[in-house]
Amino acid sequence: MISLFITLAHPKGVLLRDLHAVAMGRLEITFGRLRLERPGMLASGIMDETGDSMARMIKSGAGAVVTKSIGLEPRPGHRNPTFTEVEGGYVNAMGLPNPGIELFAEEMEIALRAGPVVGSVFGSNAKDFAVLSARMEDCGACAVELNLSCPHAEGYGAEIGSDPKNVRSIVSAVKSSVDIPVWAKLTPNTSSIVELGRAAEDGGAEAVVAINTLKAMVISAELRKPVLSNRFGGLSGPAIKPVGVRAVYDLRGALSIPVVGVGGISNWRDAAEYLLAGASAFQVGSAVGTKGPKVFGEINRGLEMFMSDHGYGSIAEMVGVARE
Amino acid sequence: MLHVSETVKIIGKMRESKDTYTLEFKWDAPAVPGQFVMVWIPGVDEVPMSLSRIGKIKAITVKGIGEASNAINDLQVGDYVRLRGPYGNGFSIKKSKKVLAVAGGVGVAALIPAIKETGCDTIIGARCEGEIILDDVARKYSKSVWTSTDDGSRGFHGNAVQLAKKKMALRDYDLVIGCGPEVMLYFLHEACKENDVECQLSLERFMKCGAGVCGCCMMDRLRVCKDGPVFGTEELDGLSDFGTRKRDECGRIVDLR
Ligand SMILES: Cc1cc2nc3c(=O)[nH]c(=O)nc-3n(C[C@H](O)[C@H](O)[C@H](O)COP(=O)(O)OP(=O)(O)OC[C@H]3O[C@@H](n4cnc5c(N)ncnc54)[C@H](O)[C@@H]3O)c2cc1C
Ligand SMILES: Cc1cc2nc3c(=O)[nH]c(=O)nc-3n(C[C@H](O)[C@H](O)[C@H](O)COP(=O)(O)O)c2cc1C
Ligand code: FES
Q: What one-character-per-residue DSSP string does B50-115 give?
A: EEEEESSEEEEEEE--SHHHHHHHT--TT-EEEEEEEES------TT--EEEEEEGGGHHHHHHHH
**Residue A179 touches partner B, C-beta closer than 8 Å:** no
Instruction: Quickly count helices (H) and strands (E) in chain B.
Output: 6, 17
Residue of A nearest to B210 (CA): A83
> B206 in ligand 1 pocket by Cβ < 6 Å?
yes
pLDDT value, residue B95: 83
Band (A154; pLDDT cuts 50, 70, 90) = confident
Question: In degrees, to the nearest 5, what angle opens at C-alpha B127 toward C-alphas B121 and B131?
Answer: 75
Residue B35 contacts residue B90 (beta carbons within 8 Å)? yes
Left if phi > 0, otherwise alpha if psi is -120 to 50, otherwise beta: which for B155? left
Higher-pLDDT residue of B4 and B155 is B155
Beta bridge partners of A147: A185
Residue A15 reports pLDDT greater than 80: no
Q: What is the mean pLDDT of residues A102-110?
A: 97
Least confident of A9-13, A212-216, B15-19, B111-115: A9-13
Band (A150; pLDDT cuts 50, 70, 90) = confident
Percent of chain A with pLDDT over 90: 86
Q: Cα(A213) to centroid of ligand 2, in Å?
A: 6
**Residue A82 touches partner B, C-beta closer than 8 Å:** yes
For all residues of chain B together, what is the average pLDDT?
A: 95
**Residue A49 touches partner B, C-beta closer than 8 Å:** yes
Residue of B nearest to A88 (CA): B1
> DSSP label at B116?
H
- The Cα-based distances of A163 to A187, A189, A199, A258 in angstroms read 10, 11, 9, 21
Residue B13 contacts residue B75 (beta carbons within 8 Å)? yes
Do B209 and A223 count as a contact with CB atoms less than 8 A apart?
no
**Residue A46 touches partner B, C-beta closer than 8 Å:** yes
Pocket around ligand 2: residues whose beta carbon is below 6 Å from it?
Answer: A 43-46, 68-69, 90, 92, 94, 96, 120, 147, 150, 185, 212-213, 236-237, 240, 262-265, 284-287; B 213-214
Closest Cα to residue A39, out of A227, A265, A287?
Answer: A265
Which ligand does the CA of B90 lie closest to? Answer: 1
Do B250 and A221 count as a contact with CB atoms less than 8 A apart?
no
> DSSP label at B150?
T
Query: How far, rounded to the nearest angstrom, does the alpha carbon of residue A24 sit from its chain's CA centroid?
Result: 24
pLDDT value, residue A278: 98
Q: Cα(A248) to centroid of ligand 2, in Å?
A: 16
> B213 in ligand 3 pocket by Cβ < 6 Å?
yes
pLDDT value, residue A24: 54
**Distance (Å, whole) CA A108 – CA A102:** 11
Backbone angles phi, psi at A277, to 5 degrees: -75, -15
Residue A19 reports pLDDT greater than 50: no
**Distance (Å, whole) CA B219 – CA B205:** 8
From B248's Cα to the closest Cα of chain A, the distance in A is 8
Q: Cα(B48) to centroid of ligand 1, in Å?
A: 6
Residues 6+ apart with CB under 8 A from A83: A90, A91, A92, A93, A94, A228, A233, B208, B209, B210, B211, B213, B214
Backbone angles phi, psi at A8, to 5 degrees: -70, -35
Residues of A in contact with B223 (CB under 8 A): 47, 53
Percent of chain B with pLDDT over 90: 95
Residue B2 reports pLDDT greater than 70: no
**Distance (Å, whole) CA A190 – CA B146:** 63
Helices A295-310 and A268-277: angle between axes, nearest 10 degrees: 60
pLDDT value, residue A4: 37
Residue A192 reports pLDDT greater than 80: yes
B55-101 pLDDT tens trace: 999 999 999 999 999 999 999 999 999 999 999 999 999 887 899 99
- The Cα-based distances of A192 to A140, A149, A161, A195 in angstroms read 34, 13, 12, 5
Atom of ligand 2 nearest to the CA of A237: 25
In three-state form (DSSP H/G/I as H, E/B as E, the rest C), the secondary structure along chain A is CHHHHHHHHCCCHHHHHHHHHHHCCCCCEEECCEEECCCEEECCCCCCCCHHHHHHHHHCCCCEEECCCECCCCECCCCCCCEEEECCEEEECCCCCECCHHHHHHHHHHHHCCCCEEEEECCCCHHHHHHHHHHHHHHCCCEEEEECCCCCCCCCCHHHHCCHHHHHHHHHHHHCCCCCCEEEECCCCCCCHHHHHHHHHHHCCCEEEECCCEEEECEECCCCEECCCCCEEEEECHHHHHHHHHHHHHHHHHCCCCEEEECCCCCHHHHHHHHHHCEEEEEECCHHHHCCCCHHHHHHHHHHHHHHHHCCCCHHHHCCHHHC
Residue B180 reports pLDDT greater than 80: yes
Q: What is the helix (H) or strand (E) element at residue B234, kind and residue range?
A: helix B233-238
Mutate to test the interface with B, among A80, A82, A84, A266 (most CBs of B within 10 A): A80
Backbone angles phi, psi at A152, to 5 degrees: -135, 25
From the list B3, B45, B211, the residue facing A80 with the nearest CB is B45
Q: Cα(A21) to centroid of ligand 2, in Å?
A: 33
Residue A275 contacts residue A291 (beta carbons within 8 Å)? no
Do A286 and B5 count as a contact with CB atoms less than 8 A apart?
no
Beta bridge partners of A30: A35
Do B82 and A223 count as a contact with CB atoms less than 8 A apart?
yes
Q: Side chain identity at A294, as an amino acid letter? A: K
Residues of B in contact with A47 (CB under 8 A): 212-215, 223
Q: What is the location of CATH 2.40.30.10 in chain B?
A: 4-87
Q: What is the mean pLDDT of residues B110-139?
A: 96
pLDDT value, residue A200: 98
- Strands, sheet with B198-202, edge to edge from the N-terminal-most edge strand: B156-157, B145-149, B121-126, B99-104, B175-179, B198-202, B230-232
Band (A18; pLDDT cuts 50, 70, 90) = very low
pLDDT value, residue A161: 87
Atom of ligand 3 nearest to the CA of B226: 4
A272-306 pLDDT tens trace: 999 999 999 999 999 999 999 999 999 999 999 99
Q: Side chain identity at B254, as an amino acid letter? A: V
For all residues of chain A together, what is the average pLDDT?
A: 92
B34-48 pLDDT tens trace: 999 999 999 999 999
The domains of chain A are located at: 2-323
Q: What is the location of CATH 3.40.50.80 in chain B?
A: 99-255
CATH T-level assignment (fold) for domain B99-255: Rossmann fold (3.40.50)
Q: Chains A and B: how many Cβ contacts under 8 Å?
A: 118
Q: Chain B neighbours among A 137-166 (CB < 8 Å)?
A: none
Residue nearest to atom 30 of ligand 2 (CA): A45
ipTM exceeding 0.85, yes/no: yes
**Distance (Å, whole) CA B115 – CA A84:** 31
Residue B53 reports pLDDT greater than 90: yes
Query: How far, rounded to the nearest angstrom, does the alpha carbon of residue A264 sit from its chain's CA centroid?
Result: 10
From the list A84, A97, A220, the residue facing B251 with the nearest CB is A97
Residue B3 reports pLDDT greater than 70: no
Residues 6+ apart with CB under 8 A from B129: B149, B153, B154
> B41 in ligand 1 pocket by Cβ < 6 Å?
no
Q: What is the mean pLDDT of residues A73-101?
A: 97
3-state secondary structure of B117: helix
From the list A53, A94, A221, the residue facing B208 with the nearest CB is A94
**Distance (Å, whole) CA B21 – CA A169:** 56
Residue A244 contacts residue A210 (beta carbons within 8 Å)? yes
Residue A119 contacts residue A141 (beta carbons within 8 Å)? yes
| Domain B4-87, CATH | 2.40.30.10
Residue B149 reports pLDDT greater than 80: yes
For A2-323, the fitting CATH number among 3.40.50.300, 3.40.50.12280, 1.10.150.130, 3.20.20.70 is 3.20.20.70
Residue nearest to atom 26 of ligand 2 (CA): A285
**Residue A221 touches partner B, C-beta closer than 8 Å:** yes
Which ligand does the CA of A229 lie closest to? Answer: 1
Tell me the Cα Rg of chain A. 19
